[in-house]
Chains A and B, each alone.
Chain A
C-alpha cells in the first residue's frame, strides 16, 4: 500500500540529497507541486468521540482523546491535566524508530506540548470538578500510521481536530460524592478552548532562498533546516521551531510566518467545517457514520481540505507542472491536487513570484509589532544554530496577548 514501507527511508543518500537541492534551486518539486503548495488534507472521524485520522498524501496520523478522573497536580490544584503522547513505533521503516531516545518522536512531542499545552489552548480550569481532589485528565494519543513527511502538521491537525471533536461526560459533585453521568442520562460536553492552534512546516535549503511548504519525507530529510510555526485563529504565534544549518534571515522567517498565519486560519476553518459535517452525520443516527473504516473506503464524501474550502483545481487549465503529467499514467495512485496556499494579501490562487521573498518593507506592513519581534528571533537562531523554541503564553484577554507579540 505504501511505497516506502520497506526498511528504507528516502533522503539518506547523497545523490538524493543533491538532487533535491538541485530541484529546489530550479524551483521544482518532485511531485509537481509548487513551493507554496501543500498536499490535500483529509479528515476521517471515528465512531467514538475524539478519534480522528488525518492524511496528507501518504502521511497518515491518528489521534485518540480519552479522559479519566484523577487528582490534580499539587502545584495546580484547580486545573485539569492535558497529556500529549506521540507513538512513532508504527512506522517500521524509519531508522532508529525503536530506540528509546528517538529524536524524532521527542521533537514531535515537544512541538505538540508547546503548541497545545504551553500556549494554554485548552481551558484547563473548566476541567476541575473539586479543587485539590477531582479533575479531568485529558490524554491525547497520537499514533503515526505512515510517515511521508510533515508529521508536525499532520499530528497537530489531528490533535486539534480530536480535541475539538471530543466530548466528556458530565459530572456532579455533591457533599463529597462524585457522580459521572452516562450518555443516556446527560448529554456529553465538549472541551472549552481559549484558542485553536495549528502548525505549518517549511523546509529551507542552502541552494535556494525560497522555503517550501509541506515537505515530503524525501524533502524533509534532504532539507538543511525545517521551520515549524504554530498559529492560532487570531493569527497569534504559539510556537516557533527553527533548527538546522541553512542560513535563514529575518525576512524569510517573517514571510513564512505571514503565510503560515493565513494557512493556519484556513486549516482551522476546514477543521470546523469538517466537524460540522460530522455532527450533521451523527445527528442522523449511528448507522450513517462510517467511522475509521472511511480511511480505506473510497467514498465520495471524504472530508478533504480542497473540497471543503472550495479550492478549485485552477491549475489544470494552466500549464501542467513538471511531473504531474507522469503521475497521470498511474491511474490507481492519487494525483496531486492543486492546493494554493491561501494568502491574505494576494488572494487565493494568485501565483507567488520571487519578489515576495525579498525583504519586505517593514514599516509599511500592517503588523508592525510582529516585525519588531522578528529580528530578535532570527538573531537568536543564528547564534545557536539549534532548535530554539519561542514560546508564547496566551491569556484569555486579547490585549494582554498583544503585548507579547
Chain B
C-alpha cells in the first residue's frame, strides 16, 4: 500500500485513475465511484493505492456500513422468531439465525440473551435488506467466532479498527511485549479486550483508545507508559 499525499473531496474527478484504466485493469475501493467514463470520489480523505491497480479513499468514519465478509462485534438486542436481532452499529440492526452457530439444530438452540456480545461475520449485506450474520465458517465450525464473555468492550473509529487489523500494524505486537491479552477487533469500530486482571484490561483499553489521537508512530511511547504503569 502506498500512501500518496493526495486528498480528494467528494465529487472530485480523479484523472490519474482514468489514465491508468486505459492501459490496465483497475479496482475501485470504498469512496470511489465510476460514472460512465469518469472516476469520481464520493468521500473525503487521502487517496490510497495498492499495486497493481487498487484504489480507495481512506476517510475518517464512525458509522459502519456493512460489507460481506467483515468480522464485526455486535450486541444481541432481542429474540424474534428463529432469529436474534443484533446491534452492529450500522443504520439497521442485523439478524442472525439460531442455526448459524456451531452444532446448533432446531432442538439444540444456542443460549443467547439480550446484552450478549458476539463476534460474527457478515454473511450478506445490501443497501436494501438488513445485514445477516453468521458465527460459523463454511464447514460449520465456529473458529474464533461466537459469544464473548468477560473482558471489556469499547468503541473507536472505524479507521482505528482497520488499522489494528492491518498485516503490518506494529501495535498489537508491541502491546504483546507488555502483557498477555486477548483481543477481538471488529471492523465496525468496536473492540473487546481481556487481560489477566482488571487493572491490565483498563490499561490496555486506554492504551488502544490513545492510539486514536496519536497514531501508530507513538506506539513505543504508549507501550513505555503502559509498562511503567503495570509495574506500579
Contact = CB atoms under 8 A, between A and B. Distances in A.
Contacts of B189: 6
A7 B149 contact: no
Given A8-B155, A12-B115, A14-B116, A329 B225 contact: yes
A311 B226 CA distance: 28
B115 A13 contact: yes
B198 A19 contact: yes
Given A7-B89, A15-B192, A320-B232, A326 B152 contact: no
> Looking at B62, B190, B218, which has the most chain A CB atoms within 10 Å of its CB?
B62
Contacts of B229: 320, 322, 325-326
A322 B152 contact: no
A18 interface: yes
A3 B214 contact: no
A15 B151 CA distance: 6
B153 interface: yes
A5 interface: yes
Interface stretch (B9-17, B45-53, B96-104, B202-210): B202-210
B151 to A, nearest CB: 5
B146 to A, nearest CB: 13
Interface residues of B, number: 40
A6 to B, nearest CB: 4
A30 interface: yes
A220 to B, nearest CB: 16
B203 A323 contact: yes
B181 to A, nearest CB: 14
B24 interface: no
B68 interface: no
A179 B210 CA distance: 59
B150 interface: yes
B117 A15 contact: yes
A7 B75 contact: no
A319 interface: yes
A85 interface: no
A76 to B, nearest CB: 47
Nearest to B74: A13
Contacts of B212: 3
Q: Is the interface of A mostly helix, strand, loop or mixed?
A: loop
B89 A15 contact: no
Contact of B202 (A6, A30, A319, A328): A30
B228 interface: yes
Interface in A326-356: 326-333
B89 A6 contact: yes
A32 B63 CA distance: 29
A326 B225 contact: yes
B148 interface: yes
B199 interface: yes
Interface string A243-260: 000000000000000000
Contacts of B214: 329-331
Contacts of B221: 329
Interface string A290-304: 000000000000000
A170 to B, nearest CB: 50
A233 interface: no
Contacts of B87: 12
A4 interface: yes
A6 B61 CA distance: 10
Interface stretch (A21-29, A45-53, A387-395): A21-29
A297 B190 CA distance: 31
B198 A6 contact: no
Contacts of A328: 225
Contacts of B155: 3-4, 6, 8, 10
> Looking at B148, B152, B221, B225, which has the most chain A CB atoms within 10 Å of its CB?
B152
A405 B222 CA distance: 53
B95 interface: no
The 8 closest A-B pairs by CB, nearest first: A326-B206, A325-B229, A6-B62, A330-B210, A329-B210, A14-B115, A13-B75, A19-B152
29 contacts: A3-B209, A4-B155, A6-B155, A8-B89, A8-B155, A8-B190, A10-B154, A10-B155, A12-B75, A12-B115, A13-B116, A13-B117, A13-B153, A14-B115, A15-B153, A28-B198, A320-B232, A322-B199, A323-B202, A325-B232, A326-B210, A326-B229, A328-B225, A329-B218, A329-B222, A329-B225, A330-B206, A330-B214, A331-B214
Interface of A: 3-8, 10, 12-19, 22-23, 26, 28, 30, 319-320, 322-323, 325-333
